[in-house]
Amino acid sequence: MAAEDAILGADSGRRRRKESQLLKRKERWLVVLGVVLHAVYMMSIFDIYFKTPIVHGMDPVVPGFPAPAKRLVLLVADGLRADKFFEPDSEGRFRAPFLRSIIKERGRWGVSHARPPTESRPGHVAIIAGFYEDPSAVTKGWKANPVEFDSVFNRSKHTFAYGSPDIIPIFCGALPHCTWNSYPHEYEDFATDASFLDEWSFDHFQSLLNRSQNDERLRELLHQDNVAIFLHLLGCDSNGHAHRPYSSTYLNNVKVVDNIARRVYDLVEGYFNDNRTAYVFTADHGMSDKGSHGDGHPSNTDTPLVVWGAGVKYPKPVTIDSHPDHVHRFVDEHLHDMPTPKHWRLSSIERVDVNQADIAPLMSTLLGLPCPMNSVGNLPRDYIQMKKEDEVEAVLANTKQILAQFLRKSHMKQENTLYFMPFKPLTDYSSLLDQIEKVKSLGHFEAALKLCENLRSLALEALHYFQTYDWMLLMTIITLGYIGWMFFLLLHVLQSYTALPSILFRQDQPVHHKGRTRKVKQFGCLLMGILSVLLYLNHSPPLYHAYVAMTLFLWTQIISEYHFIKAFWRYLRARELNYFLKLVATFAISLLVLEFLVYSFTDRKLYTWCFIFAGVAASCYLFYLIPWKSAIPAFTWLSCWFLSVFTLMPAEIPDNNPLVVASGAVVTVVGSAARWLNTSSEDTKYWLNFCNHDKKKARLPFLFFLQVVLVGLSSIMVLLSTSHRMENQELHAVHQFFNWCIAGLSMILPLFSENVLLSRVTSVFLGFGPPFLLLSIGYEAVFYSALALVLMAWILFENTILYVSEEKPSTTLEVSLLENAVLGSNERYLQLSDMRIPLVFMVLFNVAFFGTGNFASIASFEISSVYRFITIFSPFLMAALLIFKLFIPFMLVICAFSAITKLIQVPRSGCYFLVILVSDVMTIHFFFLVRNTGSWMEIGNSISHFGIVSAQVVFVLLLFALTDIYTKDIQVRSGRPSSRKLR
C-alpha cells in the first residue's frame, strides 16, 4: 500500500508539473495576444478618425490671373505667441516696432489660429502645405514625411531656405529646385540664449545675396518669377522652453526677430528694387507660460500674422460691417470678431484672423501659383489686392483644388467599395461650377464669390465625409473585439486561478466536447474566409483584415468553451441569494471605481476626494478589526490625507528647488522610520508577516546608510547643479557626471538588500529616490514620499486582513474545498474578495500618473526636469529621461502590488490578468468617448486618453518585468497553511 501511495504521489507530482508548464505556456501566448491586440486596436483610431488626408493623382489647378508678386519672403518665428508680439513691454514700448509700423502703414494683420497638436512640424505643414498634419508623422518624431505631400515650395520655380535642421529638410530635402542650409543640432543648446540661431538664418541669406553678385547662375535663380524665400527663426521656441515666455531672454528675442524682419526687408528691397516682393511674417505655434506647447490653449494656438508688399492690401480702419461672418469658428474654437485687447493699441485697424492653413493659398495666390494639391485652406480675400474678376478667379482656383481632392477620394472609394454611398450634396457638382461660370460671365462678381465659397464649404464637408466613411463598420468590429477579449480573460482567470473547475466538475463530471469544439473552430475559419474575401473585394487595408480576424478569433475561442460556460451558469443558478448579492455588489463597486478613474482623466481633483474618503473608510474598518494601539488605523488615515493634497496643486509644476532639496530629508525620514519598524517590532504580532528577522541578512550590512548618503548627495547636487546652470548658463561637466553616477548606483543597491518584505520595499524606495529628486523641479519630489506612505498603508491594511483571517476558523464547505483542491504550492486560489487587489492597484497606478500633473496632455511634460543630466538638445535622450521619471512612481506601486501578492499568497499572474481586465473596461469606455466633433483640443484629449489606457497592458507588463528583478525573491512568514495552487 505504501508503494502504491508513493507511485500515486509521483504521478500526481508529474501531472502538476505538466499542468504548470502548460499554464505558463498558455499565459505567455495570452500576454503576446494581449499586446498585439491592444496595439492593433489602438491603431484603429487612426483608421476611424485620423486616416491620412493626403491623396495623390489630382492635377494642379492653374490660376487664371496674373501673379501679384514676383517673389515671396516667408518669415516664421518658431514659438512666438501673439500676445507677446503685439503687447507693449513694462515701459510702454512695443517689442516689434518695425512690424508694427507695417501694420499701421503698409500691410494687413491678424491672428493666425493654429490647430493642435501645436508642434513645429504640424504648424509648418499647415503654413506651407495648407493641410493639418497627418497624425502618423508623430511615429517618425515629426522629422520625416510618412506620405509625400505638395507645398508652396514644390510649386515655386526655386526656393531658398535657411533655419533649423528639424524643419528645413522636411520641405526642401527632396526638392531639386531648392537651395537650403541648416545649422547642426548641437547649436540647439537650451542653456544658452538661442537668438543667435535667428541671426544664423539671416546671415546665411545675406551671404547668399552677396554671393550672387559674382555668381551669374545664382543671380538668375534669384531674379526669376515665382521664387520663395523661407527663413526659419527658432530662437523664441528654444528660449521659451529654457527660460519661459515671460523671461527677459524670450521677450528680447521678439525684438531680435523684429530686427531681422526689418533687415530682411531692407536687404531684399535694396537688392531687387522692383516693388514685386510680398512678405509674410507668422509663427507655427505659441508657447505656454511654463515653456511648453502642444495642446489647444490659446497661448499655443494664437500666433501673429503680418502680411505686406506686392499684392497685399493696405491697412483699413475698423467699420461696423467688418467681418459679418461672426458666427464662424476657427479650428481652435475661437469665434470671428474676437475683441482686440486694448493694450495692443490696434483696435482702430481692421484685424483679419485666419486659420493657419489659410496662409498656404494666400502665398500661392500672391505668387500666382496653383494651391498645394492637398490644401484645405480658404483664401483670405481681405489680404489680397486684386481686381474683382481676378479675385473671383483666385477664389475659384482655391475651390477647384479642394473639389479635386473630393473627386479623387470619391473615385477611390467607389472603385474599392461594393456598396458605395456618394456624398449627395455634390452629386451634381458640375452644374454648380457651370452656374459659377455663368454668373461670373455676367459680371456679378460678388454673387460668384458667394457661390464659390458655398461650393468650397460643401467640398470641405465632402472631404470629412470620406475621411470617416468606414467608421460605423470599424467601431462595431472593435467594440465586439474588446468585449470578446474581456470575456476571454475572465474565462482564463476562472479556469486557471479559482477553484471553480474543481467545484463545477465535482458536481457535474466534464464531458469531452471535442467534436463540438472542432465544429466551432471550423465554422470560425469558414466565416473568417468569407469575410476576408469580402474585405479583399473592397480593397480594404491589411489592418481591416487584422481587426476582423482578431475579433472573430476571440469569439471562436469563447464559444469553444461552451461546456465550461454552461456548467458555470448551472452553478450560479444553484447558489443562494447571498452569493448573488455579493457578486452584484462586487460588480457594482468595481464598475463605480472604474468609472471614477475614467472621469479622473479630465478632473484630477477627484483623487483628493477619493483619498479623503479612503482614509476615513480604511481607518474605521481597521479600528473595527484591530486595537487602536497598533497605530495602523491612524497611519492609514494620515497617509491618505497627505496624498490627497497633491491633486489640488497646479498641473503646471512651478520651479521650487529648495522644496526639492528638502524632499531629500523627507525621503530619508520615511526610509529611517521603515528601517526602525523593521528592526524594532520583533514581538508585535501585527508586523511579523513582513518583519521576519529569521531570514538571511543583507550581503552589505551598511547598505541602508549608503542609500541614505546617496539621497543626501542627490539633494546637494540638485542645489549645486541648478545654481551653477542659472549663474553660468551651462551644466558643469563634473556635476553632470556625478548626477549620472548617483542615479545609476542608487538603483542597483536594492538588489543587495534583505529579501524580507519590508526591508526590500524600503530599499527600493530609497534606491529610486535619488534619480527622482534629480529629475524633479518642484512639489512632485514630496509626492514621491507621500505615495510611498500610502503604499505602506496598503501593505499594512492587507496584512491586517490576513492576520484577522488567520485567527478565524474556516468551516464552510466552499473553503474546505479550497483547502483540499490543490496542495504543494505557496499560493492559494483567488476568491471574490480578492477583486479589491486589482481595483486598489488601478487607483494607485492612476494617481501615480496624475498625482503631479495632467500627463494625458502633451504639454504636461516639463522638459526642464532633465536639465541636471543634459542641456544639449537630444530629443530621444530627453524623452527617455522624462518617461523614466514617470515610470518611477509606477514602479513603486507595482513593487507594493507584488509584495502584497506574496504576503496574502495569491498568484501574481492571476492578479495581473485581473488588472488588465478592469483596465480594458476603462479602455472600451474611452473608445466610445473618442470625439470627432468639437474643438481639436477635446478631440486630441479623448484620443490621448484612449491611447494611454490602451497602452497600460504594455506599461504594466513592462513594469512587472522590471520590478520582478527587485521583488521575485521577497519572502514572508505565513501564519497558517492556506489553500494552494500550482502556477
Instruction: For 417-464, give the secondary structure using H, E and C.
Output: CCCCCCCHHHCCHHHHHHHHHHHHHCCCHHHHHHHHHHHHHHHHHHHH
Backbone angles phi, psi at 95, to 5 degrees: -80, -20
Question: Residue 96 carries which side chain, given as an amino acid letter?
Answer: A
* pLDDT surpassing 60 at residue 979: no
* Cα radius of gyration (the chain): 33
* pLDDT surpassing 80 at residue 887: yes
Q: Look at 42-51, 108-117, 721-730, 783-792 and tell me which has the smallest mean pLDDT.
A: 721-730
Please report where in the chains the cell 495570452 appears, as a residue: 30
* pLDDT surpassing 60 at residue 187: yes
Q: Starting at the edge strand that comes first in sequence, how are the strands of the sheet with 277-282 ordered?
A: 178-182, 158-163, 227-233, 71-77, 277-282, 302-309, 108-113, 354-355
Quote the CA–CA distance of 418 and 397 in Å, as a whole number: 33
pLDDT at residue 195, as a whole number: 92
Q: Residue 944 is placed in which grid cell?
A: 490621448
Q: How far apart are the first and last CA of the chain?
A: 30
Query: How far are the Cα atoms of 170, 171, 382, 969 from residue 199, in angstroms, in the given order?
Result: 21, 21, 32, 59
Residue 490 C-beta-side C-alpha neighbours within 13 Å: 16
Q: Look at 452-466, 623-637, 802-816 and tell me which has the smallest mean pLDDT.
A: 802-816
Of 243, 239, 232, nearest to 200 by C-alpha is 232
DSSP 280: E
pLDDT at residue 508, as a whole number: 46
DSSP 162: E
pLDDT at residue 819, as a whole number: 40
Q: Look at 206-210, 328-332, 416-420, 598-602 and tell me which has the smallest mean pLDDT.
A: 328-332
pLDDT at residue 978, as a whole number: 39
Residue 113: strand, helix, or coil: strand
3-state secondary structure string across 617-644? HHHHHHHHHCCHHHCHHHHHHHHHHHHH
pLDDT at residue 352, as a whole number: 93
pLDDT at residue 894, as a whole number: 93
pLDDT: which is higher, 681 or 926: 926
Average model confidence (pLDDT) across the chain: 83
Residue 108: strand, helix, or coil: strand
Residue 193: which pLDDT band, with cuts at 50, 70 and 90? confident
Residue 507: which pLDDT band, with cuts at 50, 70 and 90? very low
Q: Count other C-beta atoms under 10 Å from residue 509's C-beta.
A: 8
Q: Residue 745 is placed in which grid cell?
A: 548606483
pLDDT: which is higher, 500 or 207: 207
pLDDT at residue 364, as a whole number: 96
Residue 15: which pLDDT band, with cuts at 50, 70 and 90? low
Q: Residue 607 is placed in which grid cell?
A: 483623487
Q: Is the bond into 339 cis (omega within 30 degrees of 0)?
A: no
* Residue 978 contacts residue 815 (beta carbons within 8 Å): no
* Residue 331 contacts residue 297 (beta carbons within 8 Å): no
pLDDT: which is higher, 693 or 98: 98
Percent of the residues in the chain that have a pLDDT greater than 90, as a whole number: 42
Of 922, 884, 833, 934, nearest to 599 by C-alpha is 922
Q: What share of the chain is helix, strand, coil (3-state, %, to 5)?
A: 65, 5, 30
* pLDDT surpassing 70 at residue 781: yes
* 282-320 residue pLDDT tens: 999 999 998 888 878 889 999 999 999 999 999 999 876
Quote the CA–CA distance of 694 and 689 in Å, as a whole number: 11
* Residue 231 contacts residue 259 (beta carbons within 8 Å): no
Backbone angles phi, psi at 380, to 5 degrees: -80, 100
Residue 603: strand, helix, or coil: coil
Q: Residue 172 is placed in which grid cell?
A: 526642401
* Residue 72 contacts residue 279 (beta carbons within 8 Å): yes
Residue 324: which pLDDT band, with cuts at 50, 70 and 90? very low
* pLDDT surpassing 70 at residue 515: no
- H helix intervals, 114-247: 120-129, 152-155, 168-172, 195-212, 216-223, 235-243
pLDDT at residue 509, as a whole number: 46
- The β-bridge partners of 774 are none
Residue 155: which pLDDT band, with cuts at 50, 70 and 90? very high
Mean pLDDT score, 776-785: 87
* 600-619 residue pLDDT tens: 888 888 999 999 999 999 88
DSSP 329: B
Residue 355: strand, helix, or coil: strand
Query: Which of 686-709 are b and which e, b meaning 16 or more Cβ less than 10 Å from the residue's Cβ?
Result: bbbbbbbeebeebeeeebbeebbe
Of 384, 578, 559, 397, nearest to 488 by C-alpha is 559
Mean pLDDT score, 226-237: 96
Of 560, 551, 556, nearest to 495 by C-alpha is 560
pLDDT at residue 817, as a whole number: 38
Of 523, 559, 528, nearest to 544 by C-alpha is 528
Residue 699: which pLDDT band, with cuts at 50, 70 and 90? low
Query: Which of 878-888 are b and which e, b meaning 16 or more Cβ less than 10 Å from the residue's Cβ?
Result: beebbebbbbb
Please name the helix (run of DSSP H) or strand (run of DSSP E) that holds residue 814, with its range, or none.
helix 813-821
* Residue 62 contacts residue 251 (beta carbons within 8 Å): no
Mean pLDDT score, 409-421: 83
Non-local (6+) Cβ contacts of 772 within 8 A are 781, 784, 885, 888
* 19-61 residue pLDDT tens: 677 878 888 888 888 888 988 888 888 777 777 778 888 899 9
Output the CA angle 634-638-639, nearest 5 degrees.
115
* 326-367 residue pLDDT tens: 445 677 667 666 788 999 999 999 999 999 999 999 999 999
Q: Look at 178-187, 356-365, 819-828 and tell me which has the smallest mean pLDDT.
A: 819-828
* pLDDT surpassing 80 at residue 223: yes
* Residue 146 contacts residue 137 (beta carbons within 8 Å): yes
Q: Residue 965 is placed in which grid cell?
A: 528583478
* pLDDT surpassing 90 at residue 904: no
Q: Residue 867 is placed in which grid cell?
A: 536639465
* pLDDT surpassing 80 at residue 580: yes
pLDDT at residue 983, as a whole number: 32
pLDDT at residue 883, as a whole number: 80
